[in-house]
Chains A and B, each alone.
Chain A
Amino acid sequence: MKALIALFLAFAAAPALAQTALPPAPWADRQIPDARQERAAKALMETIRCLTCQSQSIADSNASMAADMRSQIRERIMAGERPEAIRAWLVARYGDWVSYAPSADPILWPLWAAPLVLLALGLVLMRGRIRRSRS
């Protein structure tokens, strides 16, 4: 039981330790003064996965890692980087998993083709049910 309590305390203390160990994230919850840049940053954040959460974007997560990534994104946007370049940098660092926007990688071609295939299939099926209008 004592060991359990010790373990519990260790877990409870871990986030506090982690927080002090992390570098500060000054732009995690601070908006960029330029509204256009802030909109671009926000739009990007909404499509980046929080890696320590369960299916949440970093734009709506309390996790410290998400805060860190938000700060990174704002700083890079202010430095003039383009959102897609930042996404590419994040993907290079954390893998495709981090981006909610599927890329054009060949493994994803079926995903992009699926809607067209479904529509085409549906139209073919539908043609059988509808009579050509009598001219």
Chain B
Amino acid sequence: MIAEAGLIALWLAASLALLQLFLAFAGLKGGKVELLAAMRPVAVAQGVLTALAFALLITLFLRSDMSVLLVAMNSHSAKPWLYKFAGTWGNHEGSMLLWVAVMGVAGGAVALFERALRRDTHMATLGAQAAISLGFYAFLLFSSNPFARVDPPPPDGQGLNPLLQDPGLAFHPPTLYLGYVGLSVAFSFAVGALLTRAVDAAFARAMRPWVLGAWILLTLGITAGSYWAYYELGWGGWWFWDPVENASLMPWLAATALLHSVTVLATRDGLRAWTIMLAVVAFSMSMVGTFLVRSGILTSVHAFAVDPERGSFILALLAVYIGGALALFGWRIGSVREGAPFELVSRETLLVVNNLLLSVILGIVLIGTLYPLMTEAFGHKVSVGAPYFDRIAGPIALTLMIAMAVGPLTRWRRDRLPAVGRRLVIPATGGAMAAVFIAAVAWGRIGPLPFFGLTVAIGVGIASLAPLWKRKLLRTPLFTWGMVIAHLGCAVSLAGMACDSAFTVEKLVAARPGEAIRTAGWTLRFVKIMPLAGDNWTALQADMAVDRGGRAVMMRPQSRFFTSPPTTTSEAALLTQWDGQLYVVLGEEVEGGRWQLRIWWKPFVTLIWFGGVLIALGGALALVGHERRGWLVKWRSRRAVA
């Protein structure tokens, strides 16, 4: 009955979305803004129903109900409960239901919590959200029903890809989806503002927290995904320029640009058309990403459903929504008046530079990802990977980092070049000293990109703290703290990337138990190798006593064999130190009782993800900082009433 209840919840939610769209249409057409009061409960109920459908699917997975096709195809009764739970979204249908649930709940939240938006714009926004949701309900119900039954039910399921059987699966996809789909709110806001001609500073202030919220979650989701790939795949890489990674990076780049342009719109009432455009592009990139992944037209480790029919369905949705939004943009944007142009030396200009460079990087990633598809149409298969993206996007990203350092040290409206220069003396000196030091220590070992990367990271790291100098730290507004911490996070992350690619020491060795291996100042004593059994796997585990002069620590890399489906995975052992990570992987047995080991010492590699967390934390502080004023006002007025 649970599966049927889930299906009914989905159908009801879809009907409510239709009703919501109809109410918005009627309200806007007849100028009856009071219909907004009726739309609110509809949107909230829709959110509750989609969340319920998702909760029911989780229940089916937890119960290992093999009469449900999706569970039988992707789960197994012997799996630990965490992977039964997280396995709910480790497949095509489940992840699309998660998508729809996030979209429904986000719409409900906009109905429930948004108070700053003009009422007609609010109405149009909810209508737009309902319109996007409808397409995805249709996709789910007509071509990806997660609740379909199978008769007769198989004795047990086929199991989940062992690579996904990791706590990372419980965290990375939901966070990423919250961010990915959370951007649909920005899209709906943009459509709502275009429809009701409400593109102004007040609108930007209302939209900003929603953009920030989605962006924070997207940042966390990408960071988590990168760390997961790093330790799970067992090769020590943290970014592969895989099409699916690019698919998550593109909305992030657009959202980051949007975050900055919405600030210009909120503060200076400038960049109106551009901000609306970015809001449309950001969610469009989420949809393009979904299309690329779900259609299976790009080979990727993430593609679990290769189905041309589904691909065409999503392509049709893409065409309707992106095409529709762009057509609306073209039709209405003429009536959006741009403010006066900016002064050349002003924070506005640097924010425009930020937007320009982020958009160019976005364009490069998009073109680089799609290009192999285009040439394949001409019968010529090519690959576009790290050598292209690093070489092209790398220098632009470094330029962007420098703009990021200068921006907060430049005043709004108008500043003087010499004054800006004076504020940059200390960071520039720090960067230059770092450059000399790095060149002296590592010349000949370090490539140009890591060299400039590290130099810029240090200079920008110092500059990012500069807005706090000579200020009373406790009285500094929370959103200033947020900006400082997020920018510092970018520098920290960049430093980690540069250190990893410049200073990683690799050691490949075939060793026998009893032998000792020396690399990068570490001594690894291979103590023994022994078999081990888990819930649904057996493993060989190597015990390595590891030290660099002090007390030895045990590291236990494993090679795991899963039976359903039959796969071997390597579980790397990681030892985190303040100055880096030691990474040990147990490979296969080679001749003479030796075992293949892969050992990496990765100096400061953890900074990559620490920086990512700082960026998200900065976003959270900015969000609280901007919103707190509103909360304080509300709280005071409520107390006054009481």
Which B residues between 65 and 103 are near A, CB-CB below 8 angstroms?
Answer: none
B515 at the binding interface (Cβ < 8 Å)? no
Interface residues of B in 363-388 (CB under 8 A from A): 363-364, 367-368, 371, 375, 378, 380-388
Q: Which of B287-308 contact A (CB under 8 A)?
A: 298-301, 303
Q: Mark A93-122, 1 if CB is under 8 A from B, else 0.
A: 001111111110101100100110011001
Q: How far is the CB of A59 from chain B (nearest CB, A)?
A: 7
Residue of A nearest to B444 (CB): A36
B363 and A118 within 8 A (CB): yes
Asked if residues B396 and A115 are in contact (CB atoms below 8 Å), the reply is yes
The answer to whether B508 and A49 have CB atoms under 8 Å apart is no
Contact A29 B344, CB 8 Å, known A47-B387, A55-B243, A111-B388: no
- What is the interface of chain B, defined by CB distance below 8 A to chain A? 233, 235-237, 240, 242-243, 270-271, 298-301, 303, 338, 340-345, 349, 352-353, 356, 359-360, 363-364, 367-368, 371, 375, 378, 380-388, 392, 396, 506-508, 510, 566, 570, 587, 596, 598
The answer on a CB contact under 8 Å between A102 and B388 is: yes
CA distance A119 to B400 in the complex (A): 13
Which of B342, B343, B508 is the one whose CB lies under 8 Å from A29?
Answer: B508
Q: In the bound complex, do residue A30 and residue B380 qualify as a contact, i.e. CB atoms below 8 Å apart?
A: no
> Is A46 on the interface with B (CB-CB < 8 A)?
yes
- Determine if A20 is an interface residue (Cβ-Cβ < 8 Å): no
A60-B237 in contact given A111-B368, A111-B371, A131-B343 (Cβ < 8 Å):
yes
Tell me how far the C-beta of A66 lies from the nearest C-beta in chain B, rounded to whole angstroms: 11
B-contacting residues, A40-65, CB 8 Å:
42, 46-47, 49, 54-57, 59-62
Question: Do A59 and B235 touch (CB < 8 A)?
Answer: yes
Partner of A100, one of B237, B360, B383: B383
- Choose one: B271, B385, B388, B507; the contact of A129 (CB below 8 Å): B271
Given contacts A122-B360, A126-B352, A130-B344, contact A96 B382 (CB under 8 A): yes
Please judge, given known A-B contacts A30-B510, A55-B300, A129-B352, whether A115 and B392 are in contact too, CB under 8 Å.
yes
Chain A residue at minimum C-beta to C-beta distance from B372: A97
Q: Is the CB of A129 within 8 A of B360?
A: no
- Measured between beta carbons, the chain B residues less than 8 angstroms from A55 are 240, 242-243, 298-301
How many chain A residues touch B (Cβ–Cβ < 8 Å)?
Answer: 43
Name the distance in Å between B565's Cβ and chain A's nearest Cβ: 10
Which residues does chain B contribute within 8 Å of A60, judged by CB atoms? 233, 235-237, 240
**Given contact pairs A122-B356, A126-B352, A30 touches B300 in the complex (Cβ within 8 A):** no
Name the B residues within 8 Å of A132 (CB-CB).
344
Closest to B340 in A: A131
What separation, in Å, do the CA atoms of A52 and B344 have in the docked complex? 53
Name the distance in Å between B608's Cβ and chain A's nearest Cβ. 17
Contact of B356 with A101 in the complex, beta carbons under 8 Å = no
A123 located at the interface, meaning its Cβ lies under 8 Å from any Cβ of chain B in the complex: yes
Among B237, B338, B383, point to the contact of A97 (Cβ < 8 A): B383
Whether the pair A133, B508 counts as a contact (CB closer than 8 A) is no
> How far in angstroms is the closest Cβ of chain A from B237?
5
A100 and B386 form a contact (CB under 8 A): yes
Do B352 and A130 have beta carbons less than 8 Å apart? yes
A118, B364: Cβ atoms closer than 8 Å = yes
A96 touches B383 (CB 8 A): yes
Give the shortest distance, in Å, between B360 (CB) and chain A (any CB).
5
B residues in contact with A131, CB < 8 Å: 340-344
Q: Contacting B240 at CB < 8 Å: which of A56, A62, A128?
A: A56
Not counting A29-B587, A102-B388, A130-B352, a sample of 9 additional A-B residue pairs whose C-beta atoms are within 8 angstroms of each other reads: A55-B301, A97-B381, A97-B383, A98-B383, A100-B388, A107-B378, A107-B380, A108-B382, A126-B353
Q: Contacts of B381 on A, CB cut-off 8 Å?
A: 95-97
User: 9 closest Cβ contacts across the A-B interface?
Assistant: A100-B385, A60-B235, A101-B387, A97-B381, A122-B356, A131-B341, A118-B363, A133-B344, A96-B382
In the complex, how many angstroms separate the beta carbon of B596 from the nearest chain A beta carbon? 5
Q: Least Cβ distance of A87 to chain B in Å?
A: 10
